[in-house]
Amino acid sequence: MNVIDSSAWLEYVANGPGAAYFAKAVEDVPKLVVPSVVVYEVFKRILQQRSETEALQVIAVMRQGHIVDLDMAIAMRAATLSIQHRLPMADAVILATTLACEGTLWTQDADFENIPGVRYHPRETP
């Protein structure tokens, strides 16, 4: 299973320098897992920077994967991971969701750089 964090989704949809790195995971729809907090973060950013129409188009792509809502088990695991790895709340929820589905987390967020099970790709400059 592939979990794509918000930074990777935004890089992919903007066709940024790292988009090709994340394309394989994003486009493997049967293995795509989308934490609900990622829907929030991506929708908000695109809504701020572009338009509601474009934000909804990206969400339509995300909905092709398996959306995972924040439940009590993921929330509690996220709290533990947040303390253990010094992660902000959303990042901890994304990591907890990844672990719950026994997946791989794809990201360009440096907060995840040295965490096992994470495919970290540093941000590239254009």
Domain boundaries, the chain: 2-110
pLDDT of residue 124: 82
Average pLDDT over residues 48-55: 96
Rounded to an integer, what is the distance from CA 47 to the centroid of its chain?
17
Band (126; pLDDT cuts 50, 70, 90): low
Give this prediction's pTM.
Answer: 0.94
Q: Which long-range contacts (CB under 8 A, 24 or more apart) does 77-85 make?
A: 85/111, 85/115
Q: Does domain 2-110 have CATH number 3.40.50.1010?
A: yes
